[in-house]
Chain A
């Protein structure tokens, strides 16, 4: 029931009801854990705190509940941050709250807050250097998430506050438990926060919280399906079905935001904060105003309260209609600016992008138009459910479908790299046969019909005007669905249920990246900044400012051949906060003589940033570890010594390695060419080839020049078009590069070996197809093949990476790779061709190594 009531109705909680609630909560939390939902944000770590906190809080005396909620929040802060960081967070927060209550005029307090905010912003942007390095990158994003908007709302309400408010309630408002996990957080209204605290039967509030958390789980699972199966890179779009998939997937990805919001507010309900819902059926909106009111209700309320109404009261002297329209325009300008403000606190940059302005401008224009119509006509509200009307239901279904299409296009425009890219993608629909358009027409008619039927069955037009009432009992559908999902989360069950259901359940549990994002992530690894449109909006990114790409350092210089860059010989500096030293030959490695010492088996190692050792010390690379172990332990009998020379360079694929081999590596007379590849090698090859075409580099191989000519790719094309033209030829390029490497190696008497190394975040069961493709190419090219794909078995990705924002392998991961390489070299030495070679002894006229 939603009736207002006296707060703290602890006497209403009864043991049987409570145990039922605890069991339901346990099921929802187990679902989150089983499907590893938002694991990267730390949600799974928050679950025990939520569960234990709920149990203790629900039975605590009412006067202790707010202090207890704060204690639970602070416990979570210590778990997520270090104790020092947690103290810094709370200390800074308390200072900000104290400023709000200084015994000085209101305007002066606002001025002090602005000055304090500018100071913190300067630290966040690292314009001001402070001794505590984690303050700007870790503490301030969390502080920003808690205070950037709530402080505005708090000050607004403080000015008009008449009722006494306890210090615990004030502190609880800022230090909200789930905020430590979800930095992108709904803007909780202070008045609502106070007014709704235990504003209904507490069992019903708890029940609502659990149900919303479950709804959030469902949103996140649906998001995962969209993410895995619908998202498509723009260069792969090649017809009407792909265009539909490309555009709708962006809008559907918003389910992640609503999923997180539901879980966050659901958690707060567990502690008596009977807050309203954050999103309501936003994919079924029938107009821009409807969308604005339902997609992010808390944001709309925040804008309305702090900006819209105050602006209207100032502008209404120009007339009510003018005041309303001008205030509406103003809130969209403010929304645009505040999204950049939010981005700044969470990610450290203040992007004022035109695409954002256009996006919010278009939504704003739609809302202004609707508002003008509403102001000019009669607005129709509802007190009761209307009877079904075919014409009204059809109109509503058509409007909802139209809005979905418009929002899909708008959202894809917002998320695309450029307008040209989006137009290029949309233009591919023209290549589709007429039949595709016919099918689309039938599908649209079917969707409208489905919408009409749904409204008929519901007995009313959606959306319902009156939000659902609170109930202290869980609906059977919730319990059934939650239990079914929990059972399906068990890996043993997934293999036994009907194929498609098992596959969907397995996808629900896949917390990794989709192929498109693996591609983008790899570009990130290999020294390319992510395009802003592709970035995960709202995800915390504490990457420090000095975490630059290799090309931004003076360790490398440009070349005009396929490689693009090469190391400066004899360089010593820092890269990703580790020492970067190159030897006199321009390798990130120890010093070696050009002439191979007698009795030495020399392996030239080619590869990218994993092999180069991005983010680890030179002595920690698997290349050096393998060299040390071979020389210390088994060796490569009967050679006295083994040398591994690291020619790898961040960003290199087999394409650049091919050129490097021919230009430089063979001068060192290697006995083996060990070419390291990974699952995204094709992506790297494609990228390298595009860069060479755009920059007009000498391709250096007639077969490659011929292939580029055949593809039709040329400089001056848009990135997406260039990528699309080249894409069908990438496997051919890759195999050609591997073949060239193998042939060059054999011509010089070296054994060509291709080594497969897993990515730290690679799910090797999912990557098997792509791995086999890469290794199949290597075999056809005439190279021997080694694979250490299971090197990270038994370890979690987070334990293997150099930083939370950089998934290159850390020292542990390098040692695991090295261990497996030594084992594989020993096991596969015969198939590779090391054993029985005639040059087991130092090379002489009697034992020329070409005889191998």
Chain B
């Protein structure tokens, strides 16, 4: 792996950690953090509803200075912490 690729990977991991922290603080208070993995389904399992998605997107746009299009408010882009991190990281690249 090149150092550039490692940086992108690190960036994704950092974003994923931050996203998990946001999710645990905003929507999953009192839940066991170990239950929230990178592949934990959020939208498809009902953990996040439309209001939570809007708040999440609002946070992502403010925290990372990215713009998330309406069609990206979806399972394809935001269903797991890993996917969320990938979507945000993809916009930062």
How far is B71's CA from A160's CA once the two chains are assembled, in angstroms? 8
A394 to B51, CA, bound (A): 26
Contacting residue for A320 out of B47, B48, B52, B58, CB 8 A? B58
B21 at the interface (CB under 8 A from A): no
Instruction: Give complex CA distance A465, B41 in Å.
Output: 11
Q: How far is the CA of A371 from the CA of B52 in the complex (A)?
A: 10
B32 sits at the interface (CB 8 A)? yes
Residues facing B in A293-320 (CB within 8 A) are: 293, 304-305, 308-310, 312-313, 316, 320
- Among the 9-residue stretches A33-41, A372-380, A569-577, A603-611, the one with 4 or more Cβ atoms under 8 Å from chain B is A372-380
The answer for the CA separation of A316 and B58 in the assembled complex, in Å, is 9
Query: In B60-92, which residues have CB < 8 Å from any A CB?
Result: 69-71, 73-76
Contact A293 B49 (CB under 8 A): yes
- Kindly provide the distance from the CB of A467 to the nearest chain B CB, expressed in whole angstroms: 7
A156-B71, A310-B70 as given contacts; A379 in contact with B51, CB under 8 Å: yes
Known A309-B73, A466-B46: A382·B51 in contact at CB below 8 Å? no
B2 in contact (CB, < 8 A): no
Q: A309-B73, A313-B70, A383-B36 are in contact. Are A378 and B29 (CB under 8 A)?
A: yes
Whether the pair A384, B50 counts as a contact (CB closer than 8 A) is no
Q: Name the distance in Å between A610's Cβ and chain B's nearest Cβ.
A: 54
Contact of A375 with B51 in the complex, beta carbons under 8 Å: yes
Interface pair A465/B27, CB less than 8 Å apart: no
Q: Is A191 an interface residue (CB 8 A)?
A: yes
Q: Tell me the bound Cα distance from A268 to B51 in angstroms.
A: 30
The complex places the Cα of A382 from the Cα of B46 at a distance, in Å, of: 9
Contact of B26 among A156, A276, A308, A378 (CB under 8 A): A378
Q: 1/0 per residue B15-52: CB within 8 Å of A?
A: 00000000000111111100110001000111111111
> Residues of A contacting B47 with CB < 8 Å?
381-383, 465
The count of chain B contact residues (Cβ–Cβ below 8 Å) is 30
- Chain A min CB distance to B8 (Å): 20
Task: Please determine whether A312 and B54 come into contact, CB atoms closer than 8 angstroms.
Answer: yes
A160 to B36, CA, bound (A): 30
CB distance from B58 to the nearest CB of A (A): 5
- Interface: B55 (CB within 8 A): yes
State whether B28 touches A383 (Cβ < 8 A): yes
Known: A304-B50, A324-B54, A465-B47. A380 touches B27 (CB 8 A): yes
Q: What is the CA–CA distance of A310 and B29 in the complex, to the nearest angstrom?
A: 29
* Interfacial chain B residues near A383, Cβ < 8 Å: 28, 31-32, 35-36, 40, 47
A467 to B45, CA, bound (A): 6
Whole-angstrom distance from the CB of A273 to the nearest CB of chain B? Answer: 16
Enumerate A105-160 residues with CB–CB distance to B below 8 Å: 156-157, 159-160
- A309 with B70, Cβ < 8 A, contacts A316-B58, A320-B58 known: yes
Q: Is A195 an interface residue (CB 8 A)?
A: yes
Q: Which of these, B27, B32, B35, contacts A379 with CB under 8 Å? A: B27
Q: Chain B residues near A467: list those with CB within 8 A.
A: 45-46
Interface contact B76-A380, CB-CB below 8 Å: no
Residue of A nearest to B51 (CB): A374
Chain A residues with CB under 8 Å of B76's CB are 191, 195
Q: Closest Cβ of chain B: how far from A357's Cβ, in Å? A: 23
CB-CB under 8 A for A320 and B71, given A379-B27, A467-B45: no
Contact A381 B52, CB 8 Å, known A465-B45, A466-B45, A466-B46: yes
Contact A381 B27 (CB under 8 A): yes
Contacts of B44 in A (CB 8 A): 276
Query: What is the CA–CA distance of A374 and B54 in the complex, to the nearest angstrom?
Result: 12
CA distance A159 to B70 in the complex (A): 12
Residue in A195, A308, A313, A316 whose beta carbon sits within 8 Å of that of B50 in the complex? A308
Closest chain B residue to A386, Cβ basis: B30
Q: Chain A residues with Cβ under 8 A from B32's Cβ?
A: 383-384
Chain A: minimal CB distance from B3 (Å): 29
Q: Contacts of B30 on A, CB cut-off 8 Å?
A: 380
A312 touches B35 (CB 8 A): no
Task: Tell me the minimal C-beta distance from B21 to chain A in angstroms.
Answer: 14
| Nearest Cβ on chain B to A466's Cβ, whole angstroms | 5
CB distance from A35 to the nearest CB of B (A): 33
Cα-based distance from A756 to B86 in the complex (angstroms): 76
Question: Which residue of chain B is the closest to A378 with respect to CB atoms?
Answer: B29
Whether A384 touches B26, Cβ cut-off 8 Å, given contacts A191-B74, A320-B58, is no
> A195, B35: Cβ atoms under 8 Å?
no
Expressed in whole angstroms, the Cα–Cα distance for A371 and B53 within the complex equals 12
- Please measure, in the bound complex, the distance between the C-alpha atom of A466 and the C-alpha atom of B69, giving whole angstroms: 27
* Residues of B with C-beta under 8 A to A381: 27-28, 31, 46-48, 52
Report the minimum CB–CB distance from B22 to chain A (whole Å).
Answer: 12
B75 touches A384 (CB 8 A): no
Tell me, rounded to whole Å, the shortest Cβ–Cβ distance linking B41 to chain A: 8
Q: Which residues of B contact A374 (CB under 8 A)?
A: 51
Partner of B55, one of A309, A379, A382: A379
Task: Please indicate the chain A residues that have their CB under 8 angstroms from the CB of B69 in the complex.
Answer: 160, 313
Complex alpha-carbon distance, A559 and B29, angstroms: 75
Residues of B within 8 A of A192 (CB): 75
Q: How far is the CB of B78 from chain A (nearest CB, A)?
A: 11
Which residues of chain B are within 8 angstroms of A276 by Cβ–Cβ distance? 44
Contact of A195 among B36, B45, B55, B75 (CB under 8 A): B75
- Known contacts being A160-B71, A309-B70, is A320 close to B29, with CB within 8 Å? no
- Residues in A whose Cβ lies below 8 Å from that of B45: 465-467
Give complex CA distance A293, B70 in Å. 19
In the complex, chain B residues whose CB is within 8 Å of the CB of A312: 54, 70
- Distance from A170 Cβ to chain B, minimum over Cβ atoms (Å): 18
Among A312, A382, A383, A384, the one with the most B-chain Cβ atoms within 10 Å of its Cβ is A383
A320 surroundings in chain B (CB, below 8 A): 54-55, 58
Q: Which of A293, A310, A384 is in CB contact (< 8 Å) with B35?
A: A384
A497, chain B: closest CB distance, angstroms: 41
Smallest Cβ-Cβ distance to B44: which chain A residue = A276
**Inter-subunit contact A380/B70 (CB<8 Å):** no
Closest to B69 in A: A313
Distance (whole angstroms) from the CB of A314 to the closest CB of chain B: 9
Distance to closest chain B CB from A363 (angstroms): 15
In angstroms, Cα B71 to Cα A156, docked, is 8
Q: How far is the CB of A595 from chain B (nearest CB, A)?
A: 81
Q: Which of A467-491 contact B (CB under 8 A)?
A: 467
Chain B residue, CB-CB nearest to A465: B46
> How far is it, in angstroms, between the C-alpha of A727 and the C-alpha of B91 when the chains are bound?
71
29 A-B pairs whose Cβ atoms sit less than 8 Å apart in the complex = A191-B74, A191-B75, A195-B75, A289-B49, A305-B74, A308-B50, A309-B53, A309-B71, A310-B70, A316-B58, A320-B55, A320-B58, A323-B54, A324-B51, A371-B51, A375-B51, A375-B55, A378-B29, A379-B27, A379-B49, A379-B55, A380-B27, A381-B46, A381-B48, A381-B52, A382-B28, A382-B31, A466-B45, A467-B45
Q: A191-B76, A379-B51, A382-B47 are in contact. List 11 more A-B contacts (CB 8 A).
A: A191-B74, A304-B73, A310-B70, A313-B70, A320-B58, A381-B48, A381-B52, A383-B47, A466-B45, A467-B45, A467-B46
Closest 4 interchain pairs by CB? A310-B70, A309-B70, A383-B35, A309-B73
